[in-house]
Amino acid sequence: MIEREALFVPRDLVSPDFNSGHRRRLRERFLKSGPDTIADYELLELVLFQSRPRGDVKPLAKSLLDRFGSFAETISAPAEDLMKVRGVGESTAIALTSVRAAAVRLMRQEVQERAVVSSWNQLIAYCRAAMGFSKREQFRVLFLDKKNRIIADEVLQEGTVDHTPVYPREVVARALDLGATALILVHNHPSGDTTPSKADIDMTGQIQRAASALGIVLHDHIIVGRAAHTSFKAQGLI
C-alpha cells in the first residue's frame, strides 16, 4: 500500500538534483545564520525533511501554514488534524508534534529548576505552550514546596471545549499527599478569551478556602489562551 505521504508530490515530477541542492542550502543557512534568519515555512521544511527524505516539501509546508495559521499553531495541532492535510501521514504528523513536545519539555525543565516567583515569565510561557492550544479545557495544578519550587505538575481534570469539572477536595487531598505548602492553578480557555467566568471565580474561592484551612497557600490561578493569559492575583480576584 502506498502511504498518503508519498502521494503529495509525484517523484517523477521532482528533480532530485534541485531538491538535494535546496535542502543542503537551507540546512547550511540554518546552521550558519541561525533560526531567526529563516521564514516559518522554511523552518517547517526542516522539520519535514526528517520524515520525507526526498521530494519538494515547500508546498506542503505552505499548505500547513495556510491551514493552521502559524508555525506554533501547526506544531500544536493534534496529529489527527494534521493528517487531514493532503500529504501528511503518520510519520510526518509525529515529526511535527514531536517538535512541540520537545519545546514543552524544555520549558518545563527550566521552570522546575528554580523558584516560580523568580521565573514568572517562563512559567507563563510554559503554561501557554503546554495548554494554550488545546481544543479542550484542562485543569492543571502546580504543587509547590516551602521554597516555591515545583514538587509536581499535574493535569487533574480534562473536560469539553468550554467546561472542566473541578473538585476542590481532590485538589487539596493531592496537595496533602505530596506535602505541598502552596498551589498555582492553571486552566485554558480554548476560545482564546482568558476572561474568568463566574464559575471560574467561584471554584477558585472554594479551593482557596479549603487549602487555607489546612495551611496551604494559593498563590494564583492563571487562565491561558493561544495568545494571552489572565492572572487572578493581578486582577484582584485572589
Write the CATH number for 41: 1.10.150.20
pLDDT tens profile 68-94: 988 988 988 889 999 999 999 999 999
Between 40-51 and 90-112, two packed helices, what is the crossing angle to 10 degrees? Answer: 110
Asked if 138 and 158 count as a contact pair (C-beta separation under 8 A), the reply is yes
Task: Check which CATH number belongs to the domain holding 211 and give it.
Answer: 3.40.140.10
Predicted pLDDT at 12: 37
Predicted pLDDT at 19: 65
142 inside domain: yes
Predicted pLDDT at 85: 93
Predicted pLDDT at 6: 45
145 inside domain: yes
When pLDDT is cut at 50, 70 and 90, the band that residue 13 belongs to is: very low
pLDDT tens profile 144-154: 999 999 999 99
Predicted pLDDT at 4: 47
Domain shared by 90 and 183, yes or no? no
* Among the ranges given (89-93, 107-111, 126-130, 166-170), the one the predictor scored with the smallest mean pLDDT: 107-111
117 inside domain: no
Asked if 110 and 130 count as a contact pair (C-beta separation under 8 A), the reply is no
238 inside domain: no
Domain shared by 140 and 83, yes or no? no
Domain shared by 91 and 141, yes or no? no
Domain shared by 129 and 227, yes or no? yes
Query: 237 by DSSP, 3-state: which?
Result: coil
Query: What rounded mean pLDDT belongs to the chain?
Result: 85
6 inside domain: no
Predicted pLDDT at 17: 45
Among 102, 132, 161, give the residue marking a domain's end: 102
**Is the pLDDT assigned to residue 10 strictly greater than 80?**
no
Domain shared by 151 and 184, yes or no? yes
Measuring CA to CA, which residue among 39, 64, 38 is closest to residue 52? 64
Domain shared by 58 and 146, yes or no? no
118 inside domain: no
- The residue with greater pLDDT, 226 or 61, is 61
Secondary structure in 3-state letters for 127-150: HHHHHCCCCCCEEEEEEECCCCCE
When pLDDT is cut at 50, 70 and 90, the band that residue 36 belongs to is: confident
Cα gap 174→161, rounded to integer Å: 25
Domain shared by 143 and 213, yes or no? yes
Q: Domains in the chain: how many in total?
A: 2
Instruction: State the residue range of the domain holding 207.
Output: 123-231
pLDDT tens profile 170-205: 999 999 999 999 999 999 998 889 999 999 999 999
Domain shared by 77 and 132, yes or no? no
Cα gap 232→84, rounded to integer Å: 38
115 inside domain: no
Cα gap 39→196, rounded to integer Å: 36
Domain shared by 220 and 128, yes or no? yes
Domain shared by 84 and 142, yes or no? no
Asked if 226 and 132 count as a contact pair (C-beta separation under 8 A), the reply is yes
Cα gap 124→29, rounded to integer Å: 32
Among 50, 71, 102, give the residue marking a domain's end: 102
108 inside domain: no
Average pLDDT for 40-60: 89
